Homo-oligomer: A and B are copies of this chain.
Amino acid sequence: MDLESLTANILAGRYRALGQAITLVERESPEVERLLADLYPFTGRARIIGITGSPGAGKSTLVAAMARHYRKEGKRVGIIAVDPTSPFTGGAILGDRIRMADLYTDRGVFIRSMATRGFLGGLAKATNDVVDLLDAAGFDQVLVETVGVGQDEVEVMRTVQTNMVVLVPGMGDDIQAIKAGIMEIGDLFAVNKADRPGADKTVTEVTMMMSLVEEHGDWIPPIVKTVASRSQGIEELDEALVRHYAYLTSSGELVRRNRERVRIRIETQLKEKFMERLIGRTISREDFESLLDEVLHKRNNPHDAAESVLEKIAF
């Protein structure tokens, strides 16, 4: 399929074209940049929600319950799983996939998992690109599931509109430490598996931890108890999400976040294209490899080696 008809078919919301385009993103094909550029004016309509939490928190079950909720409202739902432990990924356990079977066969739902490594351009960029593709293809709700540990995951979290952090009662101290790390990035909290003992204790703990975070502005992140496996608390969760979107738009925070997202994307493009041009134009591949050998044998260092290349460019 040529780029023009691929673009047209994505805008028409065709799944096959969408799948092809995502494969191009994953393979980091050069033509994908042109495709994304052409689709870019048609983005900006989707509601993009990040769902973050440790393995075992029931993120995928919660995402599935949310997807079913949106489907009842007649919305089209895109799910991107950026988590090697997600049932939506290839490495999933069969039982989990069977529990999601209704979603896999629903024409209004598109599910895709992203490998969490091997992207030269960065996982956040690839995820961002896939979000744009789903956005341009007319999906109303895009749910991005991520494990939330690691800097790259945090960057993924920066690319969504609302960050939901999923916790469970009675997790160990190890998890407490993770929680502390992602606490300040959470716009709202779901205490999932809330039928387990200790749910209220976890709510209290989160409330206390929240009071230590200063940078929330006028928005106080709500904490919602859910039992995703029985679809309990999903409406309350959606209400909180709707309220957060209202806050984002009225406070100007949405524009601020979108602007930040644009900044990251332009800078990523600049760095990538710079490297592509540099080697071959400013310095030949052989000379670059020689430079590398010099550093390897301690006759030069990475800092001065980079400087020597940059000196040749007229900025």
Q: List chain A positions with a Cβ less than 8 A from chain B.
A: 33-34, 36-37, 40-41, 43-44, 54-56, 84-85, 89, 91-93, 116-117, 119, 122-123, 147, 149-154, 172-178, 180-181, 255, 258-259, 262-263, 265-271, 273-275, 277-278, 281-282, 291-293, 295-296, 298, 301-307, 309-310, 313-315
Give Cα A298–Cα B41 distance, bound, in whole angstroms. Answer: 5
Give Cα A192–Cα B122 distance, bound, in whole angstroms. Answer: 32
Given the known A-B contacts A259-B292, A310-B274, A313-B313, are A266 and B302 also in contact in the complex, defined by CB atoms under 8 Å?
yes
Chain B residues whose C-beta falls within 8 Å of the C-beta of A301 in the assembled complex: 36-37, 40-41
Nearest-CB distance from A119 to chain B (Å)?
Answer: 7
Given the known A-B contacts A152-B152, A310-B274, are A269 and B305 also in contact in the complex, defined by CB atoms under 8 Å?
yes
Would A149 and B151 count as touching, CB distance under 8 A? no
Give Cα A71–Cα B181 distance, bound, in whole angstroms. Answer: 32
Given the known A-B contacts A275-B270, A305-B266, A307-B273, are A298 and B40 also in contact in the complex, defined by CB atoms under 8 Å?
yes
Would A271 and B273 count as touching, CB distance under 8 A? no
Nearest-CB distance from A176 to chain B (Å)?
Answer: 8
Give Cα A277–Cα B315 distance, bound, in whole angstroms. Answer: 7
Would A281 and B178 count as touching, CB distance under 8 A? no
Given the known A-B contacts A84-B180, A302-B269, A309-B270, are A296 and B262 also in contact in the complex, defined by CB atoms under 8 Å?
yes
Would A34 and B296 count as touching, CB distance under 8 A? no
Give Cα A172–Cα B268 distance, bound, in whole angstroms. Answer: 37
Chain B residues whose C-beta falls within 8 Å of the C-beta of A259 in the assembled complex: 292-293, 296
Give A150's nearest chain B residue, CB to CB: B150
Would B303 and A36 count as touching, CB distance under 8 A? yes
Would B41 and A270 count as touching, CB distance under 8 A? no
Give Cα A40–Cα B147 distance, bound, in whole angstroms. Answer: 36
In the complex, 20 of the A-B residue pairs with CB atoms within 8 angstroms, ordered by the A residue number, are A36-B301, A40-B302, A54-B55, A84-B180, A85-B175, A89-B177, A91-B181, A117-B154, A150-B152, A150-B153, A259-B296, A263-B292, A266-B302, A266-B306, A271-B271, A271-B274, A273-B307, A277-B310, A277-B315, A282-B315
